[in-house]
Amino acid sequence: MTELDTQRATRAIVHGGNLHEAARRYGMAYDAWLDLSTGINPHGYPVPPVPADAWRRLPDEGDALAECAARYYGALVDGLPAVKNVLPVAGSQAAIRALPALLPHASVGVAPLTYGEYAPAFERNGHRVTPLDAGCPTLPTDLTHVIVANPNNPTAERLSAAQLLDWHAQLAARGGTLIVDEAFADATPGESLASHAHRRGLVVLRSVGKFFGLAGVRAGFVLAEPALLDRLRDMLGAWTVSGPARHAVMAAFADRDWQEAMRSQLADDSGRLADLLCEQRFIVHATPLFAWTADSRAQALHEALARRGIWTRYFAAPSSVRFGLPANEAEWARLALALRECVAEIQNTKPAS
């Protein structure tokens, strides 16, 4: 193993939700924190009681989960669910780790600031990762595979379906693959490429955890051509999604009334969060599930909020902070007060001489 390989193997990948780490670092009880470090919906779907057989039996992979997912995501052929184009997995994380081994080794474009698992996963499997400029309509000719989160996490940047399909056409012509991570797309389903996922060289990843607030069930879906899904299924093995998780997801996918009401609520909550940050002169980029601001005060803000028991996600390059949504009025009030106090504290702090 080379020195570079060693560095990559030991590189820690930081995620939000690491509240125990925050509690240890700041010496504050775990239960005292307001955790805004993820983009998970705090108003999670109310899962109906789980049938006893879901606990006692092996997961039934012949159930209607893939069909429900195809209907929910709009992966249809002639109006019918394209079940062969949908593979349930133990969260999209499982697919992120496995897909690089199924694609020809090549140059892979990944945005400099996006979900942190992609670049290491492809590097570990012998691919060469290069920074991707999402603002460039024509992809560099040396790129074979491209990974895009749409909307992007954490910057909230969105790419149009037309641009992504054009990128896919460019990559497919050179035998490459476009992977689109739509973990945060449920709140704005019209932007999804799920209906195009039958195309060769296009992979769409979907997550149940964010919009439905069911991160703990560890369920996600890969939408792609059947040949690739067959290879991925062989790699991941049987029973990747538990029986209770399958029950929860099928119930959530079928509940259209809850979905519509939640999209409306998240739009309101997202606007409220953006307003709080704008009041403190932060420039805000947002999705319905989180807000992100790049600002010279970001690190100081993140640390000042942490001293008040509010955990956010800090990024060093560029210096920026991502905020998830509060769950109730008490949390909204706590955040609003803390923001005012923290910004005043930062402004009154004199630089060290």
Predicted confidence (pLDDT) per residue in 264-296, tens digit: 999 999 999 999 999 999 999 999 999 999 999
> Distances in Å between the alpha carbon of 86 and those of 74, 81, 187, 297?
11, 9, 20, 43
Q: In this structure, is residue 138 part of a structural domain? A: yes
Q: In this structure, is residue 326 part of a structural domain? A: yes
Q: Are residues 116 and 68 in the same domain?
A: yes
Q: Are residues 137 and 235 in the same domain?
A: yes
Looking at residue 351, its pLDDT comes to: 55
Q: In this structure, is residue 294 part of a structural domain? A: yes
| End-of-domain residue from the set 204, 237, 255 | 255
Q: Are residues 247 and 125 in the same domain?
A: yes
Looking at residue 81, its pLDDT comes to: 92
**β-bridge pairing 107-110 and 145-149:** parallel
Q: In this structure, is residue 107 part of a structural domain? A: yes
Q: Are residues 179 and 322 in the same domain?
A: no
Looking at residue 13, its pLDDT comes to: 77
Looking at residue 4, its pLDDT comes to: 37
Looking at residue 5, its pLDDT comes to: 42
Q: Are residues 247 and 178 in the same domain?
A: yes
Total domains present in the chain:
2
* pLDDT < 70 positions in the chain: 1-12, 350-353
Q: In this structure, is residue 147 part of a structural domain? A: yes
Q: Are residues 291 and 226 in the same domain?
A: no
Q: Are residues 21 and 59 in the same domain?
A: no
Residue with tokens 């990944």: 110
CATH of the domain at 103: 3.40.640.10
Q: Are residues 330 and 206 in the same domain?
A: no
Looking at residue 134, its pLDDT comes to: 84
Looking at residue 2, its pLDDT comes to: 36
Residue with tokens 């060093």: 316
Backbone angles phi, psi at 223, to 5 degrees: -110, 120
Looking at residue 6, its pLDDT comes to: 38
CB contact at 8 A, 309 and 32: yes
| End-of-domain residue from the set 203, 224, 255 | 255
Q: Are residues 306 and 332 in the same domain?
A: yes
8-state DSSP, 101 = G
Q: Are residues 228 and 333 in the same domain?
A: no
Q: Tell me the residue type at 65.
A: L
Q: In this structure, is residue 201 part of a structural domain? A: yes
Closest alpha carbon to 224 in 104, 103, 109: 103
Looking at residue 137, its pLDDT comes to: 78
| End-of-domain residue from the set 229, 255, 281 | 255
CB contact at 8 A, 343 and 308: no
Q: In this structure, is residue 353 part of a structural domain? A: no
Looking at residue 350, its pLDDT comes to: 56
Kindly report the pTM of this predicted structure.
0.93
Q: In this structure, is residue 183 part of a structural domain? A: yes
Return d(Cα 107, Cα 146) in angstroms, integer: 9
Q: Are residues 61 and 30 in the same domain?
A: no
Q: Are residues 208 and 188 in the same domain?
A: yes
Domain range for 12: 3-43+257-348
